[in-house]
């Protein structure tokens, strides 16, 4: 690999932002570019996408798309560090769980190259990724959490139970098992499944931000009106005192452990608010919270990565703001885009 040591460029020249695993998340690109214009150190910088596909929708709307190996590749991190040096990257924004796993142990390598990775330390990433660890954390903090059942102790009278993978993503392997036979069949496909009681209630997703000072400055609850393959396609912001109170308790407990930056919480609201899980990253649907706060969420992410301080009232957001995400099309010849619908620059 080329030399990736610091000092190849003056830090003042490093004004670019790199979003990893860009793929199809065009909305994230467009809103992140708006946030760059609000951060003096990034104003005039370029927004870059890193993805294993040379042509991808997000890359067509970014300033450049950079090819990297898939995230599981042993050389993935080396390639990203090298790209940060070559392209004067100031901030790296991961938004997939696998990226947190891969990048968290190497934050100092990126810092030596002049780039800040928006990612918690490895132990906090693991705490949120490992659902067994997180369940123990919730119990220690007195946070309401579904009762768990060991796979080797399942009995017919316990069902139905909800199954989820210990370190799963995008709801892969998750679902209700209504009998012991269904659970055993699921375990043959995913031996790492955990089983929990089934909770009845309205599922709420909360996008939040913890400032460098350890204060929650953004906290936007929303209902996921339609979910496809684990991704929120339709969603709208709400006011929910019970959901916000549980979110605040959870965020406060994680902040005391040192968690800073963006996070997404999932919980059941209603008479018995119950925590489901926490993702220590920006989700693809966090653009709704960013819009509901007038761009404050993404501006906080980029600004604090550049050394600025963010503040704000977590209750300051627009209630009843809806998002309906849709697909676009990129036609290409395998090398260059030919037509894009909607086209770059199209707008209301």
**Which residues 6+ apart lie within 8 Å of 166 measured at CB?**
130, 131, 132, 192, 193, 194
CA distance 147 to 195: 9
Backbone angles phi, psi at 152, to 5 degrees: -85, 0
**pLDDT value for 231:** 80
Residues of the chain with pLDDT under 50: 1-12, 347-348
Using the structure block, give the residue that is written with the tokens 């993503």: 169
**pLDDT value for 11:** 43
**pLDDT value for 281:** 95
**pLDDT value for 207:** 97
Structure tokens at 51: 């993805």
| Pairing, β 89-93 against β 16-20 | parallel
Domain 11-119 sits in CATH at 3.40.50.20
**Counts of helices then strands in the chain (DSSP H, E):** 11, 17
For 290-313, write each residue's pLDDT tens digit. 999 999 999 999 999 999 999 999
Phi-psi sector, 214: left (phi>0), alpha (psi -120 to 50), beta: left
CA distance 119 to 139: 25
**pLDDT value for 347:** 45
CA distance 64 to 345: 16
Backbone angles phi, psi at 117, to 5 degrees: -95, 125
Predicted TM-score (pTM) of this structure: 0.91
Domain ranges of the chain: 11-119, 125-129+201-324, 147-197
**pLDDT value for 345:** 67
CA distance 259 to 254: 6
CATH 3.30.470.20 describes domain 125-129+201-324: yes
Phi-psi sector, 193: left (phi>0), alpha (psi -120 to 50), beta: beta
Where b means 16+ CB within 10 Å and e means fewer, 217-228 reads bbbbbbbbeeee
CA distance 21 to 97: 10
**pLDDT value for 12:** 46
């Amino acid at each position: 690999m080329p030399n990736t040591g610091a000092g190849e460029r003056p830090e003042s020249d490093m004004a670019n932002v790199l979003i990893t695993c860009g793929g199809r998340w065009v909305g994230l690109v467009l809103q992140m570019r708006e946030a760059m214009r609000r951060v003096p150190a990034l104003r005039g910088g370029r927004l870059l996408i890193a993805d294993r596909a040379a042509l991808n929708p997000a890359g067509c709307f970014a300033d450049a798309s950079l090819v990297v190996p898939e995230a599981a590749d042993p050389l993935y991190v080396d390639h990203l560090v090298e790209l940060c040096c070559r392209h004067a990257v100031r901030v790296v924004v991961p938004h997939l769980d696998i990226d947190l796993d891969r990048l968290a142990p190497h934050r100092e390598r990126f810092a030596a190259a002049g780039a800040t990775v928006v990612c918690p330390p490895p132990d906090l990433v693991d705490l949120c990724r490992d659902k067994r660890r997180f369940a123990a954390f919730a119990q220690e903090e007195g946070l309401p959490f579904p009762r768990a059942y060991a796979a080797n102790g399942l009995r017919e009278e316990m069902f139905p139970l909800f199954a989820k993978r210990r370190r799963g993503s995008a709801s892969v392997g998750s679902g209700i098992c209504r009998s012991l036979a269904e659970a055993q069949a699921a375990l043959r496909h995913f031996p790492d499944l955990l089983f929990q009681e089934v909770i009845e209630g309205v599922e709420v997703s909360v996008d939040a931000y913890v400032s460098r000072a350890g204060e929650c400055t953004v906290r936007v609850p929303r209902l996921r009106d339609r979910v496809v393959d684990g991704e929120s396609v339709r969603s709208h912001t709400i006011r929910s005192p019970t959901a916000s109170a549980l979110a605040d308790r959870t965020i406060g407990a994680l902040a005391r452990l040192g968690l800073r930056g963006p996070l997404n919480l999932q919980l059941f609201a209603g008479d018995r608010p119950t925590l489901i899980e926490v993702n220590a990253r920006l989700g693809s649907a966090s653009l709704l919270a960013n819009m509901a706060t007038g761009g404050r969420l993404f501006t906080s992410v980029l600004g604090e990565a550049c050394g600025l301080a963010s503040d704000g009232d977590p209750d300051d957001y627009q209630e009843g703001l809806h998002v309906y995400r849709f697909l676009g099309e990129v036609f290409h010849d395998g090398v260059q885009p030919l037509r894009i619908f909607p086209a770059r620059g199209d707008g209301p």
